[in-house]
Structure 1
Amino acid sequence: MNPTIKDVAKRANVSIATVSRILNDKPGFSEKTKRKVLKTIEELGYYPNAIARGLVNKKTQTIGVLIPTVSNLFSSEILNGIEDYANEEGVSVIVCNTASDGMKTINYLEVLAEKQVDGLIIVSESIKEGFYKAITEMGVPVVLVSTISFQYPIPYVKVDDKHAAFSATNYLIKKGHTKIAMITGNKNDPIAGIPRIEGYKSALVSNGIPVQEDYIFYSDGFAHQYGIEGMEELLRRKLDFTAVFASSDELAVAAMSVAYKNGIKIPDELSIIGYDNTKLAEMIIPSLTTVSQPLYDMGLKAATMLFSIKEKEDMIESRIMPHEIIERETVKTI
């Protein structure tokens, strides 16, 4: 039979309340008593029951993370940042793969409410009315990562996507490219689609280069398959472009593979720049020049903010994280 908090209190000759205060790092005991109780816990092999402890302090020491996919390098970097901070705080993380499916997201929010999680981190999801209603009913702190809500007052951690896309396109222009195609996500996506498209167009206009819609391929997302479709379509259009800005690393790597199959040498005949700076960018040959989002740090910062809200510290402000161009081997100066 597993030892209980009552067994610990009896062996240490203290009250159950004292053991509980020590376990939850509350005041009201001497250092000597603390050492005695901790030694007794070790001797008995007592492990506090998280559910029982939650009934006492109204906390379950768990947080929920909702994310569209857990299978790509973008997601894994953010999750690593979240989990590293949570583990330091002794908190467990429940990861929910929503697949950007509205009903699935609502179902997960209901499950997390039943689990009585202490907070939520939502990654790369648009916050719809139904989501916000469910979150509000849960009454827990929420932080967004790599997304933003213009309608609801939820703190976020992200880069300035328009500025980052401007930087990528402007980098190509400074390398001598004036005929620049773009493979991007959904043109109706207000979170990452529209800002990156606007950044690309703004860089062209700022440098006196006309925007040509034929040079832009709009897809439904940022995954590898859309990069294949995008590059194949751009080649079918027989456009005279010397560079491609792909608004994710997966899109860029897919474009590189299509170029290779068509005998197009990178960067000698075509330059490509990506977006994210996932490990994929380093692994591909030639290695991919890309815009770096500090994905791990974004996850870490989101978790830090969430715990600050939980502890009712100072007002939490949203964070715009820095981006930078990581120069590798896929862009040629002309």
Structure 2
Amino acid sequence: MREKQITIRDVAKEAGVSVATVSRYLNNKGYISQKSELKIRDVMERLNYHPNEIARGLAKKKTRTIALIIPDITNPFFPELVVAIEEVAKSKGYSIILVNTQDGDMEDNHFWTQLQNRYVDGFILASFEMSERVVKAIENSKIPFVRIDRAAEDNANDSIGLDNYKGAKLAVEHLIEAGCRKIAHISGPKSFPPSSERKRGYVESVTDWAVRNGKESPEDAVIVYEGDFTLESGKLLTQVLMNEQKDVDGIFLGNDLMAIGCLKALKLMGYQVPQEVAIIGFDGIKLTEMVEPEISTIEQPIYDIGAVSTNKLIRKIEGIEDDHSLPDEPSLDIRLVARASTLGFGKFR
């Protein structure tokens, strides 16, 4: 036989007080006499009564829930990010829900209505669909939010981004120092701010190198193919690139997943990596250490991005003034991680 569930009415009856008094006690809101408080506490312990936190949250339209909106759960960058966000949220008494978006989802008003109906207290946005319509929908939702990764913009108070331009320059300069003399770039979608900044860093670096080496037309050193951050596009565009530019000896990929696709394509085409072609990616996902050769990358502090964004969002939710000097705010910067896919360039040729 199913055990009867104890309700707030049972507690009130047993304690000899009104339901409203028990509610004030549970929500720590309004006056309650010390005598009534002791009675309620004693009855709750005796009856083993625990309030329904979900129902209480819905009643107050506060659920201590954070939504993480991402564009591609199959990209290993995002699961690594989820680990950090979930750990930090849990430590602050919040839970997370994962929202994996498809192209055009955020343009649909139904998407934002559903988010509001879930009574999330805030959201972290990593998907980039920042059209005028989406921006208006976010504003109308009145939900606190923080933008990261593809959705982040430079100098925006609600954004947590890294220096993608600096990272791209580090990548290209590393290929030049390794000995590469014709370097191509397979970028992410040009509509994404991180993609355009990585492309800008690449273009400036190869152009500067061409000028320093007395090339008559430095702009001819720029070779760019636009991908979409997927492994498949890295593989396909590498095949196109190497068929059209057979003397390319260095490739900077817009992210690590495309770099893994590039590595696969080069091997299928009979190129030796890194002896004939050196490659480097961007992100620092663990998968780059699990392929042969291991892939050089511009590493983002993925865990720290998740931690900082979650702490920032919770402060916004709770109305605490943002303070970048807080001890839970690690410094966010990128770094070059040089591995076998570039370090062995030119050897035994």
Give, in whole Å, the separation in 2 of the partners of 1:178 and 1:28.
77
Paired letter, 1:85: V
Offset at 1:91? 2.1
Partner of 1:93: 96
Offset at 1:15? 7.0
Change (3 A) 1:106 1:70: farther
Give, in whole Å, the separation in 2 of the partners of 1:26 and 1:205.
65
Structure 1 runs not aligned, ≥5 long: none
Paired letter, 2:300: Q
- Greater CA deviation, 73-82 or 39-48? 39-48
- What value does the CA root-mean-square deviation take over the aligned residues? 3.2
Paired letter, 2:115: L
Partner of 2:78: 75
Give, in whole Å, the separation in 2 of the partners of 1:198 and 1:156.
20
1:212 and 2:247 matched: no
Partner of 1:331: 342
- 1:313-328 maps to which residues of 2 (within 5 A)? 313-315=320-322, 321-328=332-339
CA contact (8 A) 1:291 1:323 kept: yes
Give, in whole Å, the separation in 1 of the partners of 2:244 and 2:46.
71
Offset at 1:206? 3.4
Task: Give the % identical residues.
Answer: 28
* 1:221-265 deviations in Å (ceiling 9; x for gaps): 110111111110111114312211111111111111111112211
Change (3 A) 1:53 1:246: closer
1:158 and 2:161 matched: yes
Paired letter, 2:207: V
Offset at 1:112? 0.7
Match of residue 124, structure 2, among 112, 121, 124: 121
Give, in whole Å, the separation in 1 of the partners of 2:90 and 2:172.
39
* 1:194-230 deviations in Å (ceiling 9; x for gaps): 11110111222333363436632222x1101111111
Change (3 A) 1:261 1:23: farther
- Structure 1 or 2, whichever has the larger Rg, is 2
Paired letter, 1:71: T
Give, in whole Å, the separation in 2 of the partners of 1:168 and 1:42.
65
Offset at 1:45? 5.2
- 1:1-334 maps to which residues of 2 (within 5 A)? 1-8=4-11, 37=41, 40=44, 44=48, 46-55=50-59, 57-102=60-105, 106-148=109-151, 155-186=158-189, 188-207=190-209, 208=212, 210-212=218-220, 215-219=223-227, 221-315=228-322, 321-332=332-343
The two structures have a TM-score, normalised by structure 2, of: 0.82
Paired letter, 2:257: E
Give, in whole Å, the separation in 2 of the partners of 1:137 and 1:53.
22
CA contact (8 A) 1:147 1:191 kept: yes
CA contact (8 A) 1:161 1:195 kept: yes
Which runs of structure 1 show a deviation greater than 6 angstroms over 4 or more consecutive aligned residues?
A: 12-15, 25-30, 316-320
Give, in whole Å, the separation in 1 of the partners of 2:83 and 2:11.
36
Give, in whole Å, the separation in 1 of the partners of 2:201 and 2:46.
58
Residue aligned with 1:260, SS: helix
CA contact (8 A) 2:183 2:252 kept: yes
CA contact (8 A) 1:98 1:104 kept: no
Give, in whole Å, the separation in 2 of the partners of 1:66 and 1:290.
25
The two structures have a TM-score, normalised by structure 1, of: 0.85
CA contact (8 A) 2:154 2:161 kept: no
Paired letter, 1:216: V
Change (3 A) 1:10 1:155: same
Offset at 1:329? 1.4
Give, in whole Å, the separation in 2 of the partners of 1:287 and 1:39.
62
Paired letter, 1:199: G
Give, in whole Å, the separation in 2 of the partners of 1:135 and 1:285.
43
Give, in whole Å, the separation in 1 of the partners of 2:154 and 2:249.
40
Paired letter, 1:321: L
Give, in whole Å, the separation in 2 of the partners of 1:278 and 1:38.
53
Give, in whole Å, the separation in 1 of the partners of 2:51 and 2:284.
41
Give, in whole Å, the separation in 2 of the partners of 1:294 and 1:48.
38
